[in-house]
Amino acid sequence: MATQGTTLEQRIRLIEDQLEIYNLIASHPPSADTGAADYVASVWAEDGVFDRGDEFAKPVGRAAIAGGSSGPEHHRAIEHGIAHVAALPCVRVTGDTAFAISYLQILVPDRVGPMFEVPNHGSSQGFHVHRVSANRWDFVRTEDGWRIKRRKLRSLDGSAPAREILRDALTPSGAR
Amino acid sequence: MATQGTTLEQRIRLIEDQLEIYNLIASHPPSADTGAADYVASVWAEDGVFDRGDEFAKPVGRAAIAGGSSGPEHHRAIEHGIAHVAALPCVRVTGDTAFAISYLQILVPDRVGPMFEVPNHGSSQGFHVHRVSANRWDFVRTEDGWRIKRRKLRSLDGSAPAREILRDALTPSGAR
Amino acid sequence: MATQGTTLEQRIRLIEDQLEIYNLIASHPPSADTGAADYVASVWAEDGVFDRGDEFAKPVGRAAIAGGSSGPEHHRAIEHGIAHVAALPCVRVTGDTAFAISYLQILVPDRVGPMFEVPNHGSSQGFHVHRVSANRWDFVRTEDGWRIKRRKLRSLDGSAPAREILRDALTPSGAR
């Protein structure tokens, strides 16, 4: 972090910004795994864009994004036990905008196969890692705190688009 | 974070609190995967409660919790190579209490099946995801730093209790 | 964190240090999964040591480490879709040095077996957890920011060396 010519208050604000963004990213899995439409709407900017790739709808605007995260199709995934697991993100704040690059795993409980027991940790049929994605989040500061302006994710499956996203973590500005 | 009417010192303290809680949550897997009874005792409040669900014992008090994390049954899991993997938690601090919602994966090395090689990353039989849990941690500030007052976890297997825990991440107070 | 006898500025600096180290650890997976030699060189100390265990080369020095992270063998892993996933690390800063203990998962897309579909989350053949490792990172403050001085990792497979690394998270100094 650059500290030259900045006041203590500015440095504290930058830290608070980074921590608030950690909490925004950390609250995504709980909202996705419960289908919390109101919460999802509350953390997106009015004109937000959620881009999950060509195989999915690309909702634009808070209401459309919240709707996609809580529809009947999504609730079938929840009843199945879907779990979104967020890795440690790389976060960069610049004034009133910020971006983060993060990995996200999607796991689902296995429903077939034998039960497996681990001493002192119960038995289960295990979980299946359905997807690992590279995510770029763009945030904007509002009067009510940070909001998600855009989120773009691509599956890490050996194709180029996910690696394009990951490269944004390697420059301070996130631009290439 | 609310910054109205707070001093710089208060804002710094709140940040330090959040970071100390990150470290507490991040040190759980190393302590669990080594069976470090003394360390476990040192991070729990005297009257702590560890609730892992009905299929497990529910130890109350620092000594009982540390004992459960280091007994012979637990050491069999450690020798097997158990790994607890902590996701990015959602942390909220309010004065002298705090809570966090986190996901935890439990992985164990596969002992059957073929070896699989990845270029430049060696060969292995792979790991099995045994469990993914939703965790609620309640913390209390003491003279010696933050301590765990209560931890409740439930398996994310499609049943309702884990989702109940996750919903706590979606309100500032963690109450519903 | 100790706050006795420290100024607000010192406390802020310690926080900035911890957050900068989070970003260093969080940027490792993007650099590894894209083979970004220049970036890798930029975050290591000139005399850095990367110790992955006896089955791998042990590069010493910035250039050798960057080379190992971007050679043809590594690019075969990238084309296969390798994903490094970083868990929440335990970070301790002391003056101009710091260390962190972290878990790292390495996942690769499955290329055999049936496609599996999750409602609202597409279809895939799933991912295989190839490796889970315990990592100790040692950092040093330089005029240009924090750099990696040493990174040691061992596979969590039930053998003792990984648990040795994890134990470093359980003492404030990381020494035993």
Cross-chain residue pair A118–B88, CB shorter than 8 Å: no
Name the minimum distance, in Å, from the CA of A27 to any CA of chain B: 6
Best of A93, A118, A128 to substitute, by most chain B Cβ atoms within 10 angstroms, is: A118
Distant-in-sequence, close-in-space partners of C120: CB < 8 Å, separation ≥ 6: A68, A71, A73, A74, A76, A77
- The Cα diameter of chain B in Å comes to 62
**In terms of Cα–Cα distance, which of C59, C49, C51, C138 is closest to C92?**
C138
Confidence at B175, pLDDT banded by 50, 70, 90: low
Q: What is the pLDDT of residue C25?
A: 98
Task: Give the span between the Cα atoms of B21 and B16, in whole angstroms.
Answer: 9
**Helix, strand, coil shares of chain A as percentages rounded to 5?**
35, 35, 30
Residue of A nearest to B84 (CA): A121
In the predicted model, what is the mean pLDDT of chain C? 93
Task: Give the span between the Cα atoms of C149 and C156, in whole angstroms.
Answer: 23
Q: What is the pLDDT of residue B53?
A: 93
Per-residue pLDDT tens digits for B93-128: 999 999 999 999 999 999 888 899 999 999 999 999
Cross-chain residue pair B87–A89, CB shorter than 8 Å: no
Closest CB from C68, C73, C132 relative to B85: C132
Q: Which residue has the higher pLDDT, C21 or A57?
A: C21
Q: What is the pLDDT of residue A3?
A: 58
Is the CB of residue B121 less than 8 Å from the CB of residue C78? no
Residues of A in contact with C81 (CB under 8 A): 156-159
Q: What is the pLDDT of residue B111?
A: 86
Which residues on chain A place their C-beta less than 8 Å from a C-beta of chain B? 8-9, 12-13, 15-16, 19-20, 22-23, 25-27, 29-31, 33-34, 36, 39, 78-81, 83-89, 107, 109, 116, 118-122, 124, 126-129
Residues of C in contact with A132 (CB under 8 A): 83, 85, 107, 127
Confidence at B176, pLDDT banded by 50, 70, 90: low
**Total H helices, total E strands in chain B:** 5, 8
CA-to-CA separations, B141 to A15, A123, B90, B145, B150, in angstroms, rounded: 22, 35, 18, 6, 13
Per-residue pLDDT tens digits for B130-170: 999 999 999 999 999 999 999 999 999 999 999 999 999 99
Task: Give the span between the Cα atoms of B129 and C127, in whole angstroms.
Answer: 11
Residues of B in contact with C163 (CB under 8 A): 33-34, 78
Cross-chain residue pair A87–B87, CB shorter than 8 Å: yes
Is the CB of residue B158 less than 8 Å from the CB of residue B166? no
Task: Give the span between the Cα atoms of B144 and B149, in whole angstroms.
Answer: 14
Q: Which residue has the higher pLDDT, B172 or C164?
A: C164
| Portion of chain A with pLDDT greater than 70, in percent | 97
CA-to-CA separations, B153 to B52, B103, B132, B138, in angstroms, rounded: 5, 9, 10, 12
Q: What is the pLDDT of residue C39?
A: 96
Confidence at C175, pLDDT banded by 50, 70, 90: low
Name the minimum distance, in Å, from the CA of A98 to any CA of chain B: 16
Q: What is the mean pLDDT of residues A39-59?
A: 95
Letter string b/e over residues B26-61, b meaning 16 or more CB atoms within 10 A of that residue's CB: bbbbbbbbbbbbebbbebbbeebbbebeeeeeebeb
Residue of B nearest to A77 (CA): B158
Q: Does position B43 have pLDDT exceeding 70, yes or no?
A: yes
| ipTM exceeds 0.90 | yes
Supply the angle between the helices C160-167 and B8-32 in degrees, to the nearest 10.
160
Q: What is the mean pLDDT of residues C50-79?
A: 92
Task: Give the span between the Cα atoms of C128 and C107, in whole angstroms.
Answer: 6
Letter string b/e over residues A66-99, b meaning 16 or more CB atoms within 10 A of that residue's CB: bbbbbeeebeebbeebbbbbbbbbbbbbeeeebb
Task: Give the span between the Cα atoms of B18 and C44, in whole angstroms.
Answer: 28
> Which chains, if any, share at least 3 CB pairs under 8 A with chain B?
A, C
User: Phi/psi zone of residue A46: left (φ > 0), alpha (ψ -120 to 50 degrees), beta?
Assistant: alpha
> Which chains, if any, share at least 3 CB pairs under 8 A with chain A?
B, C
Q: Does position B2 have pLDDT exceeding 70, yes or no?
A: no
Closest CB from B15, B131, B170 relative to A27: B170
Q: Is C141 exposed, middle or buried (0-12, 13-18, 19+ CB in 10 A)?
A: middle
Name the minimum distance, in Å, from the CA of B147 to any CA of chain C: 13
Per DSSP, the three-state class of A32 is: helix
CA-to-CA separations, C47 to C59, C100, C133, C139, in angstroms, rounded: 10, 19, 23, 12
CA A16 to chain centre: 19
Q: Which residue has the higher pLDDT, B173 or C15?
A: C15
Of the ranges A53-67, B20-34, C60-74, the best mean pLDDT one: B20-34
Closest CB from A77, A103, A166 relative to C118: A77
Q: What is the pLDDT of residue B3?
A: 58
Per-residue pLDDT tens digits for A17-44: 999 999 999 999 999 999 999 999 999 9
Closest CB from B27, B85, B124 relative to C131: B124
Residues of C in contact with A170 (CB under 8 A): 27, 30-31, 34, 36, 39
| Portion of chain C with pLDDT greater than 90, in percent | 85
Cross-chain residue pair B30–C128, CB shorter than 8 Å: no
Q: What is the pLDDT of residue A113?
A: 84
